[in-house]
Amino acid sequence: MTRLVYLCYDTLLGLAWVVGLPLCLLFGLVKPRLARKALSLSTWGLPELPPPTRPRVLVHGVSVGEVKASQSLVRALRERYEVVVSAFSDTGLQVARQLYPDLVVVRFPIDFLPLVQRFWRRVRPHQVLLMELEAWPCFLREANRHGAPVSIVSGRITERSFARYRLFGALPQFERISLFAVQDETYAERFATLTGSRARIVVTGNVKVDGLRLGPAPRDERFHELARLAGGAPGQRVLVAGSTHEPEERLVLDAFRAADPTARIVLVPRHPDRADALEQSLADARPQRLSRLRAGEVPDPTRPLLVDTIGELERVYALADIVFVGGSLVPHGGQNMLEPAAQAKPVLYGPHTGNFVQETTLLERAGAARRVRDAAALTVAVRELVQDPAEARRLGERAVLAVERQRGATESTLRALAERVTLCL
């Protein structure tokens, strides 16, 4: 039965690749970026790494959040191992290259067997650490064939993903994974249900917390340049909306303006490649773009700023007086609200935070964040914090304390890896 399931899976993925790649290359004549991505996902341009002089560990994060979450683990591992970092999304790759300029960073392939086999021939890892989940059937099968243990670290599985895996239980064959080092007991129980056992599951905490810098971003040259371009005029309040999704930018812009018409408003979309479309949809507000300010356009703090570049969010949060975290006014599941919380910022988010239940529970129990039901409620919440700066300050203080108390997951994860898959440190 399992062989039949794999045969169907491989056939469907193969057909999708055979049909999809030429189409992407054809559309790539108009949008070259699409063609480059399709070729990259097909392992085109993947370098063949030289034989390692010490054990090689592949650390994989699907996109920005997972890549950033890996920082504390990568720092610890690289003292003894050759670390290679992989990502699936374009933004994940960009952030990985910014965070790890001296490490090899590669694109994770489409889960089509010939492409996965080529990836393994060229990268040749001895161990694989998958951030949060990201388990693909062909990749796991090939890892087992090469004798490379695969571990889920900082593991989590949302209710939606849990239901989907229960429906398609034959794949990705979780028995091929050596260790599940998970964030909390809820996730442990879900993985236990899927695997049929608690034997390979350890609750180690959320390593993302250890990778966060507590307190404000460093006041370095990049910060001062950003403050000059993106910050407000002297005495002007700065309201930041981070990791927003369509159509949140318009909703948040209107809510911010209604709450504080004089504020400097900064919008940071989750996907900067939406900047052209956003500029058109917000044309009545005459937004400025960070890339153009860097090219010489004069900053105007009375106009909203659209951050259309990668890797700016931590420093943008440092400029903020109040932060709204996106992906939450729309049914996306939210984005990482611990980043601004770690900088002692008062944090707001909408009702849709299903991908960050642990994080929102932590902050809300500490009285360190506010959930709003819609854009109108966001206006009310921002106005209240504007009128009561002492309460805004208290929210931020509680937030950074709540984050600080969660530290230690990296050490627990490394201990579990040492005990269960002989990853020595």
Write out the catalytic residue numbers.
66
Query: How many angstroms separate the Cα of 417 from the Cα of each of 143, 179, 181, 393?
Result: 17, 8, 8, 39
The tokens describing 240, both together, are: 């930041």
CB 364 within 8 A of CB 420: no
Under 8 Å CB-to-CB from 154, ≥6 apart: which residues? 69, 131, 132, 181, 182, 183, 204, 205, 206, 207, 208, 409, 413
Q: What is the C-alpha to C-alpha distance for residues 123 and 301, in angstroms, rounded to an integer?
A: 48
Q: What is the C-alpha to C-alpha distance for residues 346 and 243, in angstroms, rounded to an integer?
A: 16
Q: Determine which helix (DSSP H) or strand (DSSP E) holds 282, and give its type and residue range.
A: none
Around 400, how many Cα atoms within 13 Å sit in the side-chain half-sphere?
14
Q: What is the C-alpha to C-alpha distance for residues 279 and 45, in angstroms, rounded to an integer?
A: 34
CB 335 within 8 A of CB 324: no
Angle 201-203-208 (CA atoms, 0-180°, nearest 5)?
A: 120
The structure tokens 């849990």 sit at 162
Query: How many angstroms separate the Cα of 398 from the Cα of each of 337, 348, 365, 366, 393?
Result: 14, 14, 10, 6, 9
> What are 347's strand-pairing partners?
323, 369
Q: Determine which helix (DSSP H) or strand (DSSP E) holds 119, and give its type and residue range.
A: helix 113-123
Terminal CA-CA length for the chain: 40
Q: Return phi, psi of residue 387, to 5°.
A: -80, -15
Angle 245-66-248 (CA atoms, 0-180°, nearest 5)?
A: 10
Q: Return phi, psi of residue 292, to 5°.
A: -80, -30
Q: What is the C-alpha to C-alpha distance for residues 118 and 109, in angstroms, rounded to an integer?
A: 9
Q: Return phi, psi of residue 103, to 5°.
A: -110, 160
> What are 369's strand-pairing partners?
347
